[in-house]
Amino acid sequence: MTIPIADNLLRVRHRIAAAAIKAGRDPGEISLVAVSKTHPWDFVVAALAAGQLDFGENRPEEAYAKFIEQGGAASPRPRLHLIGPIQSRKATIALTCRPVLIHSIDRPKIARKLNGLAVAAGVTLDVLFEVNVSGEVSKFGFDPDRLTAALPELLALPALRSHGLMTIPPFDADPEAARPVFRVLRQLRDQLQQAWPQADWSQLSMGMSHDFEVAVSEGATIVRVGSAIFGPRTYPT
Ligand SMILES: *Cc1c(COP(=O)(O)O)cnc(C)c1O
């Protein structure tokens, strides 16, 4: 089966714009990250040809194999977002992928580890803090209170630059079920902005294929969309 990637992208972009307009927002405030995990590099090439520049991967090794080994010379240059949990022993490869944004800083330990590696490499990393809004045990991310407690240390790490928050709601077939989770993330962001105005809290990474319109209506600035663009994934992630 051939996946009509360019058509899918167009449709998703239209739906984002329509949801933004309906919510009284400027569609230009919202960026689309096309989640290419599990799919071959060819799919990224097709999306690049259709004007998509931002891509998301959840495993550093897979990101490295595609975006550096296979796609290192691609033009235009894709912008890689790391969106999955990073194990400490994968931190070096995560850095080597040269991500434009790491959405998934989910515990102090990985923040310290990435900071140490970035300091040594003389680079800075742009990051979001992942929040487990629902308290679902199977989910990664900071409990909101723990994040607040850890922020003095996290914001002082010299090679990490915070830009906001990310969340993944519990899966529910009804996209409306995610609305309260998205709303709480935005409210938390507003509180953190008040408490730590010296940091950048502008980005809210929330919304996936089945709920991105709800996320846009609740203030998402980045949506991470995989299957609605690239089709179903054939093996579990
Ligand atoms: C896989 C994944 C997505 C995209 O999921 P779809 O439902 O295919 O849109 C978004 N965010 C994260 C963190 C993911 O792992």
Q: Best mutation site among 224, 229, 235, 237 for ligand 1, i.e. most ligand atoms within 8 A of its Cβ?
A: 224
Select from 15, 58, 140, 210 the residue to mutate for testing ligand 1; criterion: most ligand atoms less than 8 Å from CB: 58
pLDDT in tens, 188-226: 999 999 999 999 999 999 999 999 999 999 999 999 999
Q: Hey, how many other C-beta atoms are within 10 angstroms of the C-beta on 33?
A: 26
Average pLDDT of every residue of the chain: 96
Six-digit token string for 35: 């989640």
Q: If you search the block for the tokens 């629902």, which residue do you land on?
A: 134
Q: What's the pLDDT score for residue 236? A: 55
pLDDT in tens, 165-183: 999 999 999 999 999 999 9
Q: Please tell me the pTM assigned to this model.
A: 0.97
Taken in order of first residue, the domains within the chain and their CATH numbers are 5-71+78-226 (3.20.20.10)
| Count of C-beta atoms within a 10 Å radius of residue 24 | 7
